Structure 1
Amino acid sequence: MLTDRRVLVVEDDPTVREVACQYLRAAGFLVDQAADGVSALRIAARARPDLVVLDRMLPGIDGVEVCRRLRAEHGTAVVMLTALGSTEDRITGLEAGADDYLAKPFSPRELVLRVRSVLRRSVTDLTPEAAFDLGPFRLDPGGRTLTKDDAPLTLSVREHDLLAFFLKHPDQAFSREQLLRAVWRWEFGDLSTVTVHVRRLREKIEDDPAHPAWLTTVWGVGYRFSSGAGASASATPAGGDLA
């Protein structure tokens, strides 16, 4: 059930914070709130929220640093709010570990939908698929665990879902648009979201992220997860527009 999940809203604008809290409570979530980065980290350590709605621009410790600490210390899912419109600003939040982002001004109803989407993908299915292996990787959909060479991979919700999707569809090339629809369930959105998550995945699963052997770029198309251990011999380098 998503309705008993705990959400922490971190926003220094009291009006925005109160509206977000009201809509999330009306949707059935348990909601805590904080007005700055220091309070957010203190409350997160105590309340252990399932997800944090996090403003990027905060007094004291900014949202990007708060996001990094939440991901490193608790593995908490994060939906980042940003009033900064450039792609680079959004990428910064995603690279810090945010699972999703929403630009201000935003619809409170869309915020609720984004929170539900991220949380839904972190809930174990009641009739889980069987665990399976692909090369050194093992995916357990029921336990939502991923390992490489028997070592657990520390992934955000979206990173987990993206790698799980690739493992289920090896040796197939997917465009960023297709991945945005299949993994994020977005019909439209910033394609750099996919690029950033691919980059972060490579840093966690590749021996040499600059020359990926598993998650390779298919020029003019998108990305492919190669099932063979010898994929590095024929893999395309990771540079260029797709990264």
Structure 2
Amino acid sequence: MNEYSVLIAEDDDQIAGVLADYLAQDGFRTQRVADGGAALRAILAGAPSVVILDVMLPVMSGLEVCRAVRASSAVPILMLSACGDEEDRLDGLNCGADDYVCKPFSPREIVARVRAMLRRADPGLRTGAQPQAAGFVLGGPADRVLWDGRPVPFTRVEERLFRTMAAAPRRVFTREALLNAMHQEFRDISERAIDTHIKNLRRKVKLLAPERGFIHAMYGVGYYFEDKPE
């Protein structure tokens, strides 16, 4: 048994049971709740390592829970939904989810995604020189982006986008170029979704240094990284 706990917020008892079994086999501690109100209380009270959150929950929807959690917590959230069109995925990402998986899914894939989210969420500061950009420590692929020694609460997609642009300051990346930089790991992302991720990324960065701008748009072309006053 490892030290990580996963909260499963799912009102389908069979799905929740399968997920709990697969996660337990991989060494995770699990907790199950079946409605949004219980999920929110458990997240705020129990500080799980990862949350698996169904969109369609009684009492409070998964989207409502996610928004409420994001007001005070950066806990990794994997959202599950029977709806798989682009608008639904964008809704999940806009409310602060780190990942989004459509039903039906492979339980083994969920376990792998949970592990990937934990790798992203663990500050795991490495020794030695770290690549930097305008005060951000970019680290390697398994590291978090740091600001003032603390991990920035980017989702894994936002973090990949930020690294891509920050590693080449003032280079303008088209949406297509940013999509290509996502590689196969994020093959479901569309050009429209890139805009949503960039919007969320810029909002988070703005909270770190309100007087400075880092991610900028070049109208009709794309986005670029540059440290300059707002």
Q: Which amino acid aligns with 2:194?
A: V
Partner of 2:32, secondary structure, is strand
Partner of 2:23, secondary structure, is helix
- Structure 1 residue 78, shift from structure 2 partner: 0.5
Q: Which amino acid aligns with 1:176?
A: L
Is the aligned partner of 1:216 residue 2:197? Answer: no
The answer on whether the counterparts of 1:180 and 1:189 sit within 8 Å (CA) in structure 2 is no
TM-score by length of 1: 0.76
Higher deviation after alignment, 158-167 or 25-34: 158-167
Is the aligned partner of 1:48 residue 2:47? Answer: yes
Give the corresponding residue for 1:156.
154
Partner of 1:74, secondary structure, is coil
Partner of 2:87, secondary structure, is helix
**In structure 1, what is the Cα distance between the partners aligned to 2:136 and 2:186?**
30
Give the corresponding residue for 2:210.
none
Partner of 2:105, secondary structure, is coil
Q: 1:128 to 1:101 in 2, by over 3 A?
A: farther
- Structure 1 residue 145, shift from structure 2 partner: 5.8
Q: 1:203 to 1:127 in 2, by over 3 A?
A: closer
Partner of 1:102, secondary structure, is strand
Partner of 2:53, secondary structure, is strand
Deviations 1:64-89 (A, max 9, x none): 01111222222111010011122101
Q: Which amino acid aligns with 2:155?
A: V
Give the corresponding residue for 2:165.
166
**In structure 2, what is the Cα distance between the partners aligned to 1:59 and 1:156?**
28
Deviations 1:123-162 (A, max 9, x none): 2345345466544x43374994644xx7x89633323453
**In structure 2, what is the Cα distance between the partners aligned to 1:96 and 1:157?**
12
The answer on whether the counterparts of 1:25 and 1:31 sit within 8 Å (CA) in structure 2 is yes
Give the corresponding residue for 2:102.
103
Give the corresponding residue for 1:37.
36
Q: How many residues align?
A: 219
Give the corresponding residue for 1:138.
136
Higher deviation after alignment, 162-171 or 85-94: 162-171
Q: 1:178 to 1:4 in 2, by over 3 A?
A: farther
**In structure 1, what is the Cα distance between the partners aligned to 2:146 and 2:33?**
32
Q: 1:166 to 1:6 in 2, by over 3 A?
A: farther
Q: Which amino acid aligns with 2:109?
A: E
Deviations 1:176-207 (A, max 9, x none): 322322xxx61622325433211111233359
Give the corresponding residue for 1:177.
179
The answer on whether the counterparts of 2:81 and 2:101 sit within 8 Å (CA) in structure 1 is yes
Q: Which amino acid aligns with 1:201?
A: L
The answer on whether the counterparts of 2:6 and 2:49 sit within 8 Å (CA) in structure 1 is yes
Q: 1:119 to 1:213 in 2, by over 3 A?
A: closer
TM-score by length of 2: 0.79
Give the corresponding residue for 2:196.
196
The answer on whether the counterparts of 2:50 and 2:118 sit within 8 Å (CA) in structure 1 is yes
Structure 1: stretches of 5+ with no match in the other structure = 233-243
Q: Which amino acid aligns with 2:154?
A: S
Is the aligned partner of 1:27 residue 2:29? Answer: no
Q: Which amino acid aligns with 2:180?
A: Q
- Structure 1 residue 18, shift from structure 2 partner: 0.6
**In structure 1, what is the Cα distance between the partners aligned to 2:45 and 2:9?**
15
The percent of aligned pairs where both chains have the same amino acid is: 35
Partner of 2:100, secondary structure, is strand
Structure 2: stretches of 5+ with no match in the other structure = 208-212
Partner of 2:79, secondary structure, is strand
Alpha-carbon RMSD: 3.2
Q: Which amino acid aligns with 2:137?
A: L
Task: Show structure 1 runs of 4+ deviating over 6 A.
Answer: none
